[in-house]
């Protein structure tokens, strides 16, 4: 149902061939999109439906919501979710993202044939372009973004890769009303048997300490959408740096995948930030479990782990540049300051 403030999807049947990483017509598409959609309104957390994209005949083509849903939904009984924040401020962004993508490629390859959803935080437009050029992504995944069109912040945002075997029903984004940093939650609705939906969200909650805090209302907004469907998963950089962050999942009737698999709060084993941060930051703030995967509804978490420790840029010259960069103040040429989080979930679908 159309609602004032929503970004309404329109038919893209006549534009299937114009999306390419190097296409001179890419800007034309973006201009078409800007004029074709009703833009979302600042400070109104309405859902914004957006197209997603599949690599077809050498170009990234927009897909209309619902067109990927199929009769194979019975096969989706288990899936893997990965989430990783790639620091947008550290130098050599392209070299770092390239190494990060290569690492993720190896992780999902080990998971085969288990389908994966990969979430990234702090993406810049150059990261999106690099994602579009990766052979393994072109062959195996649909992507939610080819530009920063749907982001509040022009500097960075969230994006998601969804394996082609997963029947996507729709993609939408909710911009948080209570944010000073352009934060949002990106949702992918996955079709399940008997008209059920698995809603998978990627978010980057507000950074730093604010008065009053912003993260509680942000996660509450995201959780409200998760509880409307059969099952929900949300992952990302939750910026859990204050005591109240430890119970936000409980406040919103969510389960924390790390804790559900036996992890202990405040244990070094669960920390996802600080190990690869600058020396100054590590000494001042220590280690923190910023990144989390939470879930609700008819799901069981089978396993949880962190990944990405000591992943460095691949070129020796680039490594030297990063280590010698005094503003970075890092001992190794790490691709980011965060560890990623990964979990395997089993779906519990009731009989019809």
pLDDT in tens, the chain (352 residues): 222 222 333 333 333 333 444 444 444 344 434 433 445 566 566 899 998 999 999 999 999 766 665 554 556 899 999 999 999 999 999 999 999 999 999 999 999 999 999 999 999 999 999 999 999 999 999 999 999 999 998 899 999 999 999 999 999 999 999 999 999 999 999 999 989 999 999 999 999 999 999 999 999 999 999 999 999 999 999 999 999 999 999 999 999 999 999 999 999 999 999 999 999 999 999 999 999 999 999 999 999 999 999 999 999 999 999 999 999 999 999 999 999 999 999 998 666 5
Q: List the one residue out of 337, 126, 305, 351 whose CA is nearest residue 239.
A: 337
**Rounded to whole angstroms, how far apart are CA atoms 46 and 65?**
17
Instruction: Report pTM.
Output: 0.88
- Say which CATH architecture domain 71-347 belongs to: 4-Layer Sandwich (3.60)
Peptide bond before 113: cis, by omega within 30 degrees of 0? yes
The torsion angles phi and psi of 86, rounded to 5 degrees, stand at -105, 105
Q: Cα–Cα distances in Å, from 154 out to 62, 75, 126, 147? A: 22, 38, 12, 10
Q: Which long-range contacts (CB under 8 A, 24 or more apart) does 260-266 make?
A: 260/301, 260/304, 261/301, 261/303, 261/304, 261/343, 263/304, 265/289
């Amino acid at each position: 149902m159309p609602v004032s403030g929503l970004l309404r999807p329109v038919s893209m049947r006549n534009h299937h061939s114009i999306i390419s990483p190097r296409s001179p017509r890419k800007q034309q598409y973006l201009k078409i999109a800007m004029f074709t959609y009703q833009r979302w309104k600042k400070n109104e957390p309405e859902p914004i439906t957006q197209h997603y994209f599949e690599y077809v005949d050498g170009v990234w083509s927009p897909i209309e919501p619902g067109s990927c849903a199929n009769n194979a939904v019975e096969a989706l009984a288990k899936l893997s979710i990965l989430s990783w924040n790639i620091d947008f401020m550290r130098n050599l962004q392209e070299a770092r993202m390239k190494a990060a993508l290569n690492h993720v490629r190896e992780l999902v390859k080990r998971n085969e044939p288990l389908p994966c959803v990969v979430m990234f935080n702090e993406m810049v437009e150059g990261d999106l372009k690099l994602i579009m050029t990766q052979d393994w992504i072109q062959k195996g995944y649909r992507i939610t973004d080819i530009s920063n069109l749907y982001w509040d912040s022009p500097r960075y945002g969230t994006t998601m890769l969804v394996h082609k075997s997963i029947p996507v029903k729709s993609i939408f984004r909710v911009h948080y009303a209570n944010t000073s940093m352009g934060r949002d939650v990106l949702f992918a609705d996955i079709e399940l048997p008997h008209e059920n939906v698995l809603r998978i969200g990627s978010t980057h909650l507000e950074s730093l300490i604010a008065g009053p805090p912003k993260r509680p209302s942000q996660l509450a907004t995201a959780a409200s959408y998760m509880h409307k469907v059969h099952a929900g998963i949300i992952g990302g950089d939750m910026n859990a740096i204050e005591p109240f962050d430890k119970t936000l999942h409980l406040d919103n009737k969510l389960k924390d995948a790390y804790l559900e698999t036996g992890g202990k709060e405040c244990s070094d084993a669960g920390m996802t930030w600080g190990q690869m941060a600058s020396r100054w930051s590590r000494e001042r703030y220590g280690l923190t479990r910023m990144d989390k995967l939470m879930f609700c509804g008819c799901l069981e978490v089978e396993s949880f782990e962190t990944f990405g420790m000591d992943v460095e840029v691949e070129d020796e010259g680039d490594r030297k540049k990063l280590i010698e960069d005094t503003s970075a103040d890092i001992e190794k040429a790490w691709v980011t300051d965060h560890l990623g989080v990964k979990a395997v979930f089993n779906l519990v679908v009731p009989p019809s």
